[in-house]
């Protein structure tokens, strides 16, 4: 079942991400890589981010830290000190990948930039994740989730038309940046494995969101048309098509389809007719009408009829009967619904992760893939602060306990 694989088991990753792009290392760990997250001695800023386990606000209890750092080992290191830099230099020599998300130029100013580390290990993949990229007019711009949403175009096209453009109430930018950085990193890794040649992977969170805009870019380029926000509707040809409909116990998402997929609309109309709620819709040949010929007025009238029908049924009724009849109608879920999904349960999507400090196992979302080979390894929880210091410094780098204590007391680890 899902969860993790061991396909990247011979890949070693040094993870210097902060709150930006942290998901990158998690995904690589889920794919089997050995990921060492390096935090400054006082802990990553991610540990400050809520929500918290049982609302106990402590650095070892941040659910955001848990979510994006599960599967990683954790060490502490102040990379601004000379001992810290030496340790980084040692670690990269046996690493395949280094990921970092400091401001542009930061690692360079520490003498730990791509050029220097590439000399030590020519096959190293050096992935840098920043808000806007390594250079350019915005390289020093301040950012946050909503600012990047705005500049990427995703903000403008969402929300009700009588109110300002709208972002998700949950941070998303760092997730896109981290996910796409993982893809870019593995592209470079594929090449390095075959040629021995490492390279820099320069990832921009701002640019990462551009991919989510669907037809916004070609609409302007081809026809000088600006896509605008329409609340619960989406622009299609000349009309704003309703997508979310209230029903008895919430909302469902559905759109009327025509042409090649008009049969699905026909199925719904047939169902409605069985309950005498189809009205004039039964006379429409959904398979031959062209979407491009439909007016807004016409669409809105139809949508009212469909909406009245949906209003008589629950989400479950619409979803299960819809599935049986081949109608693409979906419940609008909250996260409780997601967690209770029979589909996710049957696919083994939820992974038990042990948190011995709390004396319980917590269910986490796993990788979105199932394979025929089942990986029997479980996902490990995110590391406590400095949890693997001894394992890395003593066992792997051969440092003495005495030296490790010196480093600890000097604030270097």
- What is the b/e burial string over 315-333, where b = at least 16 CB atoms within 10 angstroms of the residue's CB? beebbeebeeeebebebbe
Q: Would you count residue 193 as binding other proteins (CB under 8 A)?
A: yes
> What number of chain residues touch other proteins (CB under 8 A)?
162
Under the binding rule (CB under 8 A), the answer on residue 63 touching other proteins is yes
Among the residue ranges 27-35, 84-92, 277-285, 299-307, the one whose residues contact other proteins (CB under 8 A): 27-35
CA 388 to chain centre: 26
CB of 56 to other proteins, least distance (A): 10
Question: Shortest approach of other proteins to residue 85 CB, angstroms?
Answer: 23
CA-based nearest residue to 399, from 36, 75, 44, 116: 75
User: Should residue 337 be labelled a site residue for other proteins when binding is judged by CB under 8 A?
Assistant: yes
Taking the complex as a whole, how short is the minimal distance between the CB of residue 393 and other proteins, in angstroms?
Answer: 29
Whose CA is closest to 35, among 7, 4, 60, 71? 71
C-alpha to C-alpha distance for 61 and 33, rounded to whole angstroms: 24
Per CB under 8 A, 159 contacts other proteins: yes
Closest CA to 332 of 231, 391, 389, 252: 252
**Secondary structure letter of residue 395 according to DSSP:** I
390 binds other proteins, rule: CB under 8 A: no
| C-alpha to C-alpha distance for 196 and 41, rounded to whole angstroms | 34
Q: By CB under 8 A, what part of segment 85-114 binds other proteins?
A: 114
Cα 184 to Cα 5: distance, rounded to the nearest angstrom = 19
The minimum distance between CB 26 and other proteins, in angstroms, equals 9
Burial class (CB in 10 A: 0-12, 13-18, 19+), 108: middle
5: contact with other proteins by CB under 8 A: yes
**Distance between CA 176 and CA 7 in Å, rounded?**
23
Question: Cβ of residue 193: shortest distance to other proteins, in angstroms?
Answer: 7
CA atoms within a 13 Å half-sphere pointing along the CA-CB vector of 241: 15
CA angle 160, 165, 171 (to 5 degrees): 110
Piece of the chain touching other proteins by CB under 8 A; list 75-83, 305-313, 346-354, 399-407: 346-354
Least separation in angstroms between CB 399 and other proteins = 31
Least gap, CB of 9 to other proteins (angstroms): 8
Report the site for other proteins in 223-252 (rule: CB under 8 A).
Answer: 223-237, 243-244, 246, 251-252
- Residues forming a β-bridge with 251: 246
Which residues are bridge partners to 12 per DSSP? Answer: 34
Where in 134-153 is the site for other proteins (CB under 8 A)? 135-138, 141-153
Q: Which of residues 67-86 bind other proteins (CB under 8 A)?
A: 67-68
Q: In angstroms, what is the minimal distance from the CB of 69 to other proteins?
A: 11
* DSSP character string of 304-333: HHHHHHHTTS-HHHHHHHHHHHT---EE--
* 271 versus 393: smaller Cβ distance to other proteins: 271
Q: Out of 103, 253, 270, 300, which residue is the one contacting other proteins (CB under 8 A)?
A: 253
The piece of 58-66, 103-111, 304-312, 398-406 that touches other proteins (CB under 8 A) is 58-66
Dist. CA 387–CA 33, nearest whole Å: 18
Which of 58, 285, 335, 409 binds other proteins (CB under 8 A)? It is 335
Contacting other proteins (CB under 8 A), which of 40, 72, 167, 266? 167
Strands 34-39 and 12-16: parallel
293 touching other proteins, by CB under 8 A: no
Does position 263 interact with other proteins (CB under 8 A)? The reply is no
- Residue 74 CB, nearest approach to other proteins (Å): 18
Nearer to other proteins, 210 or 404 (CB): 210
Report the C-alpha gap between 302 and 281 in whole angstroms: 7
Considering only residues 350-389, where is the footprint of other proteins by CB under 8 A? 362-373
């Amino acid at each position: 079942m899902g969860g993790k694989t061991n396909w990247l088991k011979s890949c070693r990753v040094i993870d210097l991400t902060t709150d930006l792009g942290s998901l990158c290392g998690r995904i690589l760990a889920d794919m089997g890589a050995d990921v060492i997250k390096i935090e400054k001695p006082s802990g990553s800023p991610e540990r400050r981010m809520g929500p918290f386990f049982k609302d106990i606000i402590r650095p070892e209890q941040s659910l955001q830290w848990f979510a994006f750092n599960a599967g990683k080992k954790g060490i502490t290191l102040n990379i601004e000190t000379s001992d810290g830099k030496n340790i980084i230099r040692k670690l990269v020599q046996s690493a395949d990948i280094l990921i970092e998300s400091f401001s542009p130029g930061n690692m360079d100013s520490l003498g730990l930039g791509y050029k220097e580390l590439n000399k030590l290990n020519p096959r190293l993949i050096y992935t840098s994740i920043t808000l806007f990229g390594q250079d350019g007019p915005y390289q020093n711009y301040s950012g946050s989730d909503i600012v990047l949403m705005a500049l990427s175009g995703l903000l403008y096209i969402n929300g009700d038309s009588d109110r300002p453009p709208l972002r998700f109430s949950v941070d998303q930018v760092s997730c896109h940046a981290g996910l796409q950085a993982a893809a870019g990193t593995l592209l470079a890794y594929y090449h390095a494995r075959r040629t021995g040649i490492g390279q820099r992977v320069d990832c921009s969170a701002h640019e990462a969101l551009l991919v989510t805009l669907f037809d916004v870019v070609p609409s302007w380029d081809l026809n000088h048309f600006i896509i605008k926000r329409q609340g619960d509707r989406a622009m299609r040809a000349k009309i704003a098509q309703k997508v979310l409909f209230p029903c008895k116990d919430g909302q469902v998402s559905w759109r009327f389809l025509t042409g090649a997929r008009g049969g699905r609309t026909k199925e719904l109309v047939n169902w409605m007719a069985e309950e005498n709620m189809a009205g004039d819709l039964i006379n429409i040949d959904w398979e031959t009408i062209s979407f491009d010929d439909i007016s807004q007025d016409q669409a809105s009238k139809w949508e009212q009829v469909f909406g009245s029908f949906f209003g008589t049924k629950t989400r479950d009724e619409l979803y299960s009967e819809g599935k049986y009849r081949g109608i693409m109608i979906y419940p609008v879920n909250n996260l409780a619904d997601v967690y209770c999904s029979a589909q996710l349960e049957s696919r083994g999507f939820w992974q038990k992760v042990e948190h011995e400090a709390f004396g319980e196992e917590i269910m986490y979302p796993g990788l979105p893939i199932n394979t025929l080979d089942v990986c029997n390894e479980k996902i490990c929880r995110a590391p406590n602060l400095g949890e693997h210091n001894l394992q890395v410094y003593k066992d792997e780098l051969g440092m003495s306990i005495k030296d490790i204590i010196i480093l600890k007391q000097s604030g270097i680890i």
